[in-house]
Amino acid sequence: MHRGLSANVLDSGQDGLPILARVEDCQTCFVCELYCQADAIYVAPDCDRHVAVTAEEVVASGRLGQYRKHSGWDEWSDRYPNEQWLMETVFRRAGEAAAQVRAEPPGIIGRK
Amino acid sequence: MYRILDQTWRTLPTLARHYKFGADDEGRVNYRAVRGPEYMRALRQQVLSHGVTILDHSPVLELLARSDGSIGGARGQRRQDGGRAYRIEAGAVVLAAGGTSFLSHLLGSWTNTGNGYLMAPEAGAEMSGVEFTAAYTIAPAHSTMTRSMAYAFATYYDADGHELDLPFGPDQTIGLARALQRGPVYCSLHLLPDDIKARLHTISPNVPLVFDRWGIDPYRDRFEVTLHNDGTIRGIGGVRVHDVDGTTSVPGLFVAGDNASREKVAGAISGGGNVNSAWALSSGVFAGRTAACLSRGVKRSKSRLRPLGRVGREPRSGAQTVDLAALRDGVRAEMHPFDKNLFRTRQGLAASIRVLEGLWAELADHADTGTIASRETAALLATARWSVATAATRNESRGLHRREDFPSQDSGFATRLLSGGLDKVWVAADGPSANAETGQLEAAS
């Protein structure tokens, strides 16, 4: 049972290791990477076109485990805090910046 | 709304055993924002800690009714156990099967095919507010990454490199859609303040994945963007609820989260983000509590439970091979394009109704397999039919529903619109007597 997955992509292989049984069912949500403590899964970001990558390329990219690390899961919990709470601040600052642009007369500050 | 916020505020801190709530720069614990994967993991651990059995990868295919029409269980398949059938008898059922994006690439929504929207009406419940499906969210083209925070500081360009006038604000999505109708749109995030750039990977760790893996520097490069349909997920419609406790018109059947209409808390606008997530938590608490109370008084049914699933199980004519993938693509082709679902017209909606009726007939006439895929396809088609029929009835523009031929709000439509019907779709104004027979508005099809 691969509980990290919402789609039915993985099967259990004979040696108990997961195998990619239905990669075409992958919905590109990246959540399996979070649950894989071995950092053995790489999800390509492309959702509407097929991409081929080799294991060597993925390992060389240094991206394996990136999502789990930056999410602060498992051994990374002390080094990468979950800062989701900052989101409301970002939206507020964007709103204030947009209001400021609207308040400035055109031609002086422009949109850049 | 007060009850929803109050319950959410009381319940969220109880997840602290399983969710590490962040402290802001002053050290105050912030309970307001929870991040998806961690939140889902915490809810799962919370449920397991109460001794609940979870059947993973086991979609429900249909509800089971007692002889009096009340709901007494459900049956489905365990797809990672050879498709083995399972059947559950229960005092009451809470449907929490989510909403649907009509198979857009909205992040994480591909398995949300609206199955609860099919099962509740099969049991006799109504839908409400399913015309409010025209929410769209930005993502880098060819990606699912509909996390929009960084785009609050985005700058947009057309294919010739000219900057587009799309200021951050409530009308930005409309402007983006119009620009995308004219041609490709490119984006730069160079105006994102440096202190946020430095923390983007700990605020939204999945957002940089796409850029990093494609070798794009979003703060310097211009990358192509698109809009994905949110359907009823960041939209608002769903199964009609009579109260915040998730009561439907069917005894023993409750709905929670995106499976329920959220009009009573969000009105006609998107409930995406705060309202919907507060509703998801609190409606689950309320529905669960009410369903549990009801269950205590229910005696085990002596008569056999009757399965209610029909569409995609019992062909009306002869069983034939049905191309389910083609039917699903047909739903996407009517529910995603801006000129059909966002900028609506009478003619466009009428054309969508005709197409969807044809697809529905194909499925209802011939599909007999009762598989997960055929039931999912039936749910997508049913929801799409109710959505376009209701949109064709609401001859005004209000909230998420935009009619090019009726650009103003009309006080005559200041009412919720109910819908339903499997073989024949109906739309009716909500009211004390609203049902399939009375209060019927002009037929939409």
Task: Search chain A and give the residue with CA nearest B170.
Answer: A95
Best mutation site among A70, A79, A80, A102 for testing chain B: the one with the most B CBs within 10 Å? A70
% of chain B at pLDDT higher than 90: 81
- Give the C-alpha separation, B232 to B238, whole Å: 7
| pLDDT tens track for B348-358 | 999 999 999 99
The secondary element (H helix, E strand) that includes residue B182 is helix B172-182
Backbone φ and ψ of B381, nearest 5°: -65, -45
Q: Where are the domains of chain B?
A: 2-132+232-307, 136-229, 324-429
CATH number of B324-429: 1.20.58.100
| More confident site: B441 or B181 | B181
Nearest alpha-carbon partner for B283 in B252, B249, B320, B255? B255
What lies within 8 Å, CB to CB, of B4 at 6+ separation is B244, B265, B275, B278, B279, B282, B283
Residues 32-71 of A with CB under 8 A from B: 34, 43-49, 61, 63, 66-67, 70-71
Q: Measured between CA atoms, how close is B366 to chain A, in angstroms?
A: 25
What pLDDT score does B261 carry?
Answer: 96
Of A6, A66, A82, the CB nearest to B22: A82
What pLDDT score does B445 carry?
Answer: 36
Mean pLDDT of chain A: 87
Nearest alpha-carbon partner for B230 in B374, B391, B149, B114? B114
| pLDDT tens track for B46-70 | 999 999 999 999 999 999 999 999 9
User: What are the start-end ranges of the E strands in chain A?
Assistant: 10-12, 18-20
What pLDDT score does A76 carry?
Answer: 97
Q: Report whether pLDDT(B440) > 60.
A: no
Q: Report whether pLDDT(B205) > 90.
A: yes
Mean pLDDT of chain B: 92
CB-CB neighbors (< 8 A) of B21 in chain A: 85
Q: Residue written as tokens 């062909």?
A: B315
B278 to A6, A75, B4, B344: CA distances (angstroms): 22, 31, 7, 30
Q: Measured between CA atoms, how close is B339 to chain A, in angstroms?
A: 21
Instruction: Tell me if B253 sits within 8 A of B125, measured CB to CB.
Output: yes
Q: Report whether pLDDT(B444) > 60.
A: no
Q: Do A47 and B165 touch (CB under 8 A)?
A: no
> Which residue numbers in chain A have pLDDT < 70?
1-4, 105-112
| pLDDT tens track for B79-100 | 989 899 999 999 999 999 999 9
| pLDDT tens track for B293-344 | 999 988 776 778 999 998 766 778 888 889 999 999 999 999 999 999 999 9
Q: Which CATH number fits domain B136-229: 3.30.980, 3.40.50, 1.10.10, 3.90.700?
A: 3.90.700
Q: Report whether pLDDT(B217) > 60.
A: yes
What pLDDT score does B438 carry?
Answer: 37
What lies within 8 Å, CB to CB, of B333 at 6+ separation is B355
Best mutation site among B34, B39, B78, B80 for testing chain A: the one with the most A CBs within 10 Å? B80
What pLDDT score does A106 carry?
Answer: 53
Q: Quick one: average pLDDT of B188-194?
A: 97
CB-CB neighbors (< 8 A) of A7 in chain B: 110-111
Q: What is the sign of the dihedral through the CA atoms of B262, B268, B270 and B271?
A: negative
- Give the C-alpha separation, B39 to B278, whole Å: 13
Lowest mean pLDDT among A105-109, B401-405, B441-445: B441-445
What lies within 8 Å, CB to CB, of B408 at 6+ separation is B396, B397
The two structure tokens encoding residue B280:
């998801």
Q: What is the sign of the dihedral through the CA atoms of B403, B405, B410 and B414?
A: negative
Q: Do B196 and A81 touch (CB under 8 A)?
A: no
CB-CB neighbors (< 8 A) of A86 in chain B: 24, 196, 199, 203
Q: Report whether pLDDT(B110) > 60.
A: yes
The two structure tokens encoding residue B47:
């449920």
CB-CB neighbors (< 8 A) of B22 in chain A: 81-85
B373 to B41, B346, B348, B435: CA distances (angstroms): 27, 32, 28, 30
What pLDDT score does A105 carry?
Answer: 56
Q: Report whether pLDDT(B157) > 50.
A: yes
Superfamily assignment of B2-132+232-307 in CATH? FAD/NAD(P)-binding domain (3.50.50.60)
Q: Measured between CA atoms, how close is A95 to chain B, in angstroms?
A: 7
Q: Do A111 and B165 touch (CB under 8 A)?
A: yes
What pLDDT score does A1 carry?
Answer: 45
CB-CB neighbors (< 8 A) of A28 in chain B: 105, 143-144
The reply to whether A110 touches chain B by the CB within 8 Å rule is: no
Q: Measured between CA atoms, how close is B12 to chain A, in angstroms?
A: 14
Q: Quick one: average pLDDT of B361-379?
A: 90
| Residues constituting chain B | 445
